[in-house]
Amino acid sequence: MDTTLHDPLVGQVLDGRYRVDARIAVGGMATVYRAVDTRLDRVLALKVMHPSLAADASFVERFIREAKSVARLAHPNVVGVFDQGAQDQYVYLAMEYVAGCTLRDVLRERGALQPRAALDILEPVLAALGAAHRAGFVHRDMKPENVLIGDDGRVKVADFGLVRAVDSVTSTTGSVLGTVSYLAPEQIEHGTCDTRADVYACGVVLYEMLTGTKPHSGDTPAQILYAHLHEGVPAPSAAVPGLALELDELVASATARNPEARPHDAVALLARTRTARAALADEQLDAVPPGARTAPAASGPGSEDRTSVIPRAVATPTGPAATPLPPEHAHEASLNRTSRLIMPQRIEEEPEPAPRAPRRRGANRRALIAVVAALVMILGVGAGVWYINSGQFTHVPALIGQSEDAAKKKLSNAGLGVKKVEGQFSDTVERGQVIGTDPATGARIRGNGSVTLVVSRGPETAQVPKLDGMPLDQAKSELHKAGFAPGDTSAEFNASVAQGSVIRTSPAAGVKRHTDTAVALVVSKGAPIDVPSVVGDTVDAATSALQGAGLKVVVAPDQVNSPQDAGKVAAQSAAEHAQLAQGDTVTLTVSKGPRMITVPTVTGQKAADAQKALEGAGFKVKVDRSFPFLSDEVSGQSVNGGAQAPEGSTITITTKGL
């Protein structure tokens, strides 16, 4: 059934520009449509936030952040963002349209892929994420649904809807956004998320491509989350015997439960991937060993494949059976409650039985605590009791007004760690200074505890600073201080602004913009230099003329034959009257003299035929017709046939007379 018939947006024109033609896909936060930009007459994808979320400022901010973040990533493997806007209750992104399918479609249809195909898909994905990571962003929702494969074979990463800056993403106290099958353990347990969370998700995607199945499965999302926390991703060869050891090691490296053991970002994982590929023989790359899942999946995408808001806080059960849970079951109960909150259609009526392993660990822990408590009571060790009740606590030092680095150092000196760093706009506190902590200053905290730092991002909007005439490095520094990001840098000639200094910015100085906006810089190349012609000059003379004009000179190592005399300049890299900037380089090619070639014999030929033969051999021709009315037959030539003459030299032919 064509569900687009019931979609009120299909057929409408947003912002008087984007005509919505058809619905492509529906996600957790937005719907994607195929549309036409009527102004530029091109097909594009329109990502429209669900109206129910458009009233939530945090979701709108995340949506707009996606547009800004991806707009900075000019990479062939990232789906480009063209525009962002809003009309009535519709907030949208105008994006590149990729005709093709998703990696999820491929896996659902084909099952496991050959290792070569899996690596051919993984490498451009890692290249795209590597560009994002090196630009300071984390994707946070890598999965096969967000890998697009065009009809032309190009691979692109889409849906940066959860993207956050690396230095602003540390943890969240209440919930985590993501897709359960691809969440890293630290995202589930602590909410921490940096580039290594994307690396973990890519490792899971690689496992799925090699085996046709996800590494962790369960009847509920809670069971999958529990497996990510407590079980390592198995080796692909355990499911598909015969897969190369290098592929097992690659998956193990990317999906290490300890983030410190993973490659630090997608660029590092890409390097390991290429090393692993180089170690594999063609038969290892092209074979799908027995055991891989090749049959299509029986059902559509499950709820564990959807991007969801997953609460992390442990709630107390309510109702007549609200009995406090023992510690060993509290975490599992929290996960099961999580699944009921986000995916009620997948929850069975009967509660899931508790896993046995956690019960044994909990029992051992309780027994150990009981033994320690009994020993303390029997021995009456007063110092130990003091430590348990007081000595292991300290107080949060005063950090407000200090720089982020100074605050971290002071916490370290106090034996405390940094749980996360949050940015917050402030009209009164200078950008980069601490404006608050959690716990607050002076609060009681365990001696090895962690503190959340709230750091000023400066005003939410600021004026673009005046940078005209400022050297480029200094201008970029001033942009950072004002809260802006340096954007594209271009150069043009300008006689009134010193070379390497800023001519203007876009937006212009004084214009108010949201902080973190990219500001483009136009830099002066100085006054243009008119390049003189030095062909035919000696190398010394040519060098002197060019350097006198303010240019640098390089002499090519190889000489060439040319009509110029040996040792003279045969060619220059910048043509006469071309415009260069001061300090630009001109390369000179030196002549080794003309090439000597054999002169054809043309005596007795018609003058026209003789001229054609000589010019075809590389000579210039002069015809001496003393008695043109008597005969047109060549009676002589200035250089005899069979002799050698310089290429390009002139041969004179004479026609017969009386």
Say how far apart CA 364 and CA 357 lie, in whole Å: 11
- Specify whether the CB–CB gap between 586 and 573 falls below 8 A: yes
Residue 193 CB neighbour total at 10 angstroms: 27
3-state secondary structure 187-242: HHHCCCCCHHHHHHHHHHHHHHHHHCCCCCCCCCHHHHHHHHHHCCCCCHHHHCCC
pLDDT of residue 293: 63
Mean pLDDT (whole number) for 34-57: 87
- Specify whether the CB–CB gap between 564 and 571 falls below 8 A: no
What's the pLDDT band for 178 if we cut at 50, 70, 90? low
pLDDT of residue 456: 85
3 state DSSP class of 32: strand
- CATH number of residue 331's parent domain: 1.10.510.10
What's the pLDDT band for 365 if we cut at 50, 70, 90? very low
Report yes or no on 376 lying in a domain: no
Residues 518 and 485 in one domain: yes
pTM above 0.85, yes or no: no
Residues 434 and 549 in one domain: no
Residues 106 and 148 in one domain: yes
pLDDT of residue 274: 95
Residue whose entry in the numeric block shows the structure tokens 């500001």: 519
Residues 557 and 613 in one domain: no
Say which amino acid occupies 511: V
Residues 511 and 586 in one domain: no
- The pLDDT of residue 528 is above 50: yes
Catalytic residue among 120, 141, 427, 609: 141
- The pLDDT of residue 389 is above 90: no
Residues 229 and 206 in one domain: yes
pLDDT of residue 301: 46
- The pLDDT of residue 333 is above 60: no
Say which amino acid occupies 184: A
Residues 259 and 336 in one domain: yes
Q: Which of 403, 426, 456 is the last residue of a domain?
A: 456
What stretches of 56-159 show up as alpha helix (H) in DSSP?
Answer: 57-71, 103-110, 115-134
Name residues whose C-beta falls within 8 Å of residue 195's C-beta, 6 or more positions apart in sequence. 133, 138, 166, 264, 265, 266
Report yes or no on 505 lying in a domain: yes
- CATH number of residue 510's parent domain: 3.30.10.20
Residues 302 and 422 in one domain: no
Q: What is the mean pLDDT of the chain?
A: 80
Reference 209, options 109, 98, 100, 99; nearest CA is: 109
Reference 247, options 218, 288, 197, 216; nearest CA is: 288
- The pLDDT of residue 540 is above 90: yes
- The pLDDT of residue 323 is above 50: no
Mean pLDDT (whole number) for 515-521: 87
pLDDT above 70 coverage of the chain, percent: 78
- CATH number of residue 79's parent domain: 3.30.200.20
Mean pLDDT (whole number) for 261-277: 94
The per-residue pLDDT for range 230-257, each reduced to its tens digit, is 888 999 999 999 999 999 999 999 999 9
Query: What is the span of the domain harbouring residue 504?
Result: 461-524
- The pLDDT of residue 375 is above 70: no
Report yes or no on 252 lying in a domain: yes
pLDDT of residue 325: 33
pLDDT of residue 330: 35
Which range among 206-220, 347-361, 528-542 has the greatest average pLDDT? 528-542
The per-residue pLDDT for range 126-165, each reduced to its tens digit, is 999 999 898 888 888 899 999 999 888 899 998 775 455 4
Q: What angle do CA 613, 615, 617 make, to 5 degrees?
A: 70
Report yes or no on 302 lying in a domain: yes
pLDDT of residue 88: 83
Residue 502 CB neighbour total at 10 angstroms: 24
Report yes or no on 363 lying in a domain: no
Residues 497 and 536 in one domain: no
pLDDT of residue 236: 94
Mean pLDDT (whole number) for 93-117: 91
pLDDT of residue 57: 75
pLDDT of residue 657: 59
CA 543 vs. chain centroid, Å, equals 44
282 counts as catalytic: no
Residues 611 and 478 in one domain: no
Q: Which of 46, 73, 97 is the last residue of a domain?
A: 97
Q: Strand 552-555 to strand 585-590: parallel, antiparallel, or no bridges (unpaired)?
A: parallel
Residues 12 and 28 in one domain: yes
Q: How many domains does the chain contain in total? A: 6
3 state DSSP class of 607: helix
Residues 292 and 232 in one domain: yes
Mean pLDDT (whole number) for 367-388: 39
Say how far apart CA 385 and CA 373 lie, in whole Å: 10
Report yes or no on 387 lying in a domain: no
What's the pLDDT band for 366 if we cut at 50, 70, 90? very low
Say how far apart CA 453 and CA 345 lie, in whole Å: 39
Report yes or no on 374 lying in a domain: no
> Greater confidence, 8 or 160?
8
Report yes or no on 385 lying in a domain: no
The per-residue pLDDT for range 451-510, each reduced to its tens digit, is 999 988 877 788 899 999 999 999 999 998 888 889 899 999 999 999 999 999 999 999
The per-residue pLDDT for range 565-622, each reduced to its tens digit, is 999 999 999 999 999 999 999 999 999 998 899 999 999 999 999 999 999 999 999 9
Q: What angle do CA 483, 485, 487 make, to 5 degrees?
A: 150
- The pLDDT of residue 658 is above 60: no
The per-residue pLDDT for range 500-516, each reduced to its tens digit, is 999 999 999 999 888 77
Name residues whose C-beta falls within 8 Å of residue 371's C-beta, 6 or more positions apart in sequence. none
pLDDT of residue 289: 59
